[in-house]
């Protein structure tokens, strides 16, 4: 999240817009994972409340993924495909901004959306 790379920001914002987490919650999760202290612009009570909400959402998301798999809403290949997609995104996100133009970035986001849409079987 500290990366100023335009590619990273565009894709990251796209993920947030399509996730169950807010930008603030995503920031809290990231900071917790990298062992950062809470930001000074949030009270301790609000931070720990948000952190609890994040933990609950993550736990519920994992259960939801397992439930969807049991119901055959996502197939066996889904998690492997998502891992491949994640690996490819990491390659793109680690390139300097000047190596990827806006058209390529739009194509990557579109491809990602299509892959996710095809993985959902309902």
Domain ranges across the chain: 6-119
Which pLDDT belongs to residue 47? Answer: 92
Helix residue ranges, H only, 18-77 = 23-33, 44-70
Tokens of 38: 């809470």
List per-residue pLDDT tens for the chain, 122 residues long: 444 466 678 888 999 999 999 999 999 999 999 988 877 788 999 999 999 999 999 999 999 999 998 998 888 788 888 888 888 888 887 877 777 777 878 888 888 898 888 888 78
pTM, two decimals, is 0.75
Contact 72, 46 (CB under 8 A): no
């Amino acid at each position: 999240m500290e990366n100023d790379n335009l590619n990273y920001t565009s894709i990251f914002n796209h993920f947030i817009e399509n996730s169950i987490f807010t930008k603030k919650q995503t920031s809290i999760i990231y900071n917790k994972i990298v062992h950062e202290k809470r930001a000074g612009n949030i009270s301790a009570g609000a931070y720990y409340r948000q952190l609890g909400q994040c933990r609950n959402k993550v736990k519920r998301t994992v259960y939801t993924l397992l439930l969807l798999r049991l119901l055959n809403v996502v197939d066996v290949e889904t998690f492997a495909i998502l891992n491949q997609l994640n690996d490819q995104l990491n390659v793109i996100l680690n390139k300097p901004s000047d190596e990827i133009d806006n058209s390529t970035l739009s194509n990557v986001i579109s491809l990602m959306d299509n892959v996710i849409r095809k993985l959902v079987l309902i």
